[in-house]
Structure 1
Amino acid sequence: MKMMRAAVGLWVLSAVICVGRGHHHLGHGNDQTVQDTVGDGSANSVSLVNEANKEFSFQLYRKLAADADSQGKNIFFSPASVSVALAALSVGAQGETHRQLFSGLGFNSSLLTQTDVDQVFQTLLQSTNNTSQEDASEGTAVFVDDDFKSKPEFLQTLKQSYFADGFNVDFAKATESADTINKYVEEKTNGKIDKLVKDLDPNTVMYLISYIYYKGKWETPFDPKLTKQDDFNVDENTKVSVDMMNMKDHFHIYHDHDLNTTVLQLPFNSSYSMLLMLPDVMATLENAICPNHVTKWLKAMVIPRRHDVYIPKFSIKTSYNLNDVLAVMGMTDMFGVRANLRGISEEPGLKVSEVVHKATLDVDEAGAEAAAATVIKILLGSSRFPPPVPVLKFNRPFMVIITERNTEKILFLGKIINPTI
Structure 2
Amino acid sequence: MHLAFHLLLLLVAPLAVSQGQSHPGHKEGNLTNSSHQETLGPGEGSPSLRIVPSNTDFALHLYHLMAFESPSKNIFFSPLSISAALAMLSLGARAHTRTQILQGLGFNLTEMAESDIHLGFRHLLRTLSLATDTLEIHMGSALFLSRGVQLLPKFLNDTMAFYESQVFHTNFHDSEGAAQLINNHVMKETQGKIVNLASKLSKDTILVLVNFIYFKALWEKPFSRSKTTLQDFYVDENTIVQVPMMGQDGQYHWYLHDRYLPCSVLRMNYDGDVMALFILPDRGKMKQVEEVLTPEMLVRWNNLLQKRVYFYKKLELHLPKFSMSGSYELGQILPKLGFTELLSERANFSGITETLNLKMSKSFHKAILEVDEIGTKAAAVTNFSIIFKSARRNLHVLRFNRPFLVVIFSTKTQSILFLGKVVNPTKS
2:7 to 11, 16, 24: 11
1:396 aligns with 2:398: no
Contact 1:273 1:403 in 2 (8 A): yes
- Following superposition, the deviation at residue 387 of structure 1 comes to 4.1
In the other structure, the counterpart of 2:278 is 276
Mapping 1:7-406, distance limit 5 Å: 7-8=4-5, 10-25=6-21, 38=34, 40=36, 43=45, 45-67=47-69, 70-133=70-133, 134-248=135-249, 249-280=251-282, 281-301=285-305, 302-303=308-309, 304-368=312-376, 387-406=393-412
**3-state secondary structure, aligned to 1:182:** helix
- Aligned residue-pair number: 405
- Higher alpha-carbon deviation: 232-241 or 198-207: 198-207
- 2:231 aligned partner, one-letter code: D
Q: Cα deviations across residues 32-85 of structure 1 (Å, max 9, x unaligned)? A: 656577362573753331111111111111112222xx3432110111110111
Equivalents in 2 of 1:17, 1:92: separation in Å? 13
1:419 to 408, 422, 425: 425
**3-state secondary structure, aligned to 1:55:** helix
CA 1:59 to 1:326, structure 2 compared with 1: closer, same or farther past 3 Å?
A: same
Contact 2:143 2:167 in 1 (8 A): yes
Q: TM-score, normalised by structure 2?
A: 0.89
- Following superposition, the deviation at residue 399 of structure 1 comes to 0.4
CA 1:196 to 1:59, structure 2 compared with 1: closer, same or farther past 3 Å?
A: same
- Following superposition, the deviation at residue 135 of structure 1 comes to 2.1
Equivalents in 1 of 2:156, 2:329: separation in Å? 25
Equivalents in 2 of 1:364, 1:319: separation in Å? 22
Equivalents in 2 of 1:258, 1:353: separation in Å? 46
CA 1:412 to 1:385, structure 2 compared with 1: closer, same or farther past 3 Å?
A: closer
Equivalents in 2 of 1:26, 1:401: separation in Å? 43
Contact 1:185 1:193 in 2 (8 A): yes
Q: Cα deviations across residues 353-380 of structure 1 (Å, max 9, x unaligned)? A: 1111111111011012779xx79x99xx
- Following superposition, the deviation at residue 186 of structure 1 comes to 0.8
**3-state secondary structure, aligned to 2:277:** strand
- 1:137 aligned partner, one-letter code: H
Equivalents in 1 of 2:262, 2:238: separation in Å? 22
Equivalents in 1 of 2:411, 2:304: separation in Å? 13
Equivalents in 2 of 1:92, 1:386: separation in Å? 60
1:407 aligns with 2:407: no
Equivalents in 2 of 1:285, 1:230: separation in Å? 25
Q: Cα deviations across residues 372-420 of structure 1 (Å, max 9, x unaligned)? A: xx79x99xxxxx9974422111000000011112332111100000000
Contact 1:41 1:116 in 2 (8 A): no
Equivalents in 2 of 1:257, 1:26: separation in Å? 59
Equivalents in 2 of 1:297, 1:180: separation in Å? 44
Q: Cα deviations across residues 295-331 of structure 1 (Å, max 9, x unaligned)? A: 2222211421011110010011221111121111111
- 1:278 aligned partner, one-letter code: L
- 1:252 aligned partner, one-letter code: W
CA 1:21 to 1:365, structure 2 compared with 1: closer, same or farther past 3 Å?
A: same
- Higher alpha-carbon deviation: 196-205 or 36-45: 36-45
Equivalents in 1 of 2:343, 2:37: separation in Å? 31
Contact 1:41 1:120 in 2 (8 A): no
Equivalents in 1 of 2:360, 2:35: separation in Å? 28
- Following superposition, the deviation at residue 268 of structure 1 comes to 0.9
- Following superposition, the deviation at residue 26 of structure 1 comes to 6.6
- 1:75 aligned partner, one-letter code: I
CA 1:27 to 1:257, structure 2 compared with 1: closer, same or farther past 3 Å?
A: farther
Equivalents in 2 of 1:34, 1:65: separation in Å? 39
**3-state secondary structure, aligned to 1:161:** helix
Q: TM-score, normalised by structure 1?
A: 0.90
Equivalents in 1 of 2:79, 2:258: separation in Å? 24
Q: Cα deviations across residues 194-230 of structure 1 (Å, max 9, x unaligned)? A: 1221110121111111110011111111111111111
Name the % identity: 34
Equivalents in 1 of 2:392, 2:402: separation in Å? 29
**3-state secondary structure, aligned to 2:98:** helix
In the other structure, the counterpart of 1:381 is none
5+ residue gaps, structure 2, are 39-44
Equivalents in 2 of 1:385, 1:208: separation in Å? 54
- Following superposition, the deviation at residue 333 of structure 1 comes to 0.8
- Following superposition, the deviation at residue 180 of structure 1 comes to 0.3
**3-state secondary structure, aligned to 1:354:** coil
- 2:263 aligned partner, one-letter code: T
Contact 2:22 2:354 in 1 (8 A): no
Contact 1:25 1:337 in 2 (8 A): no
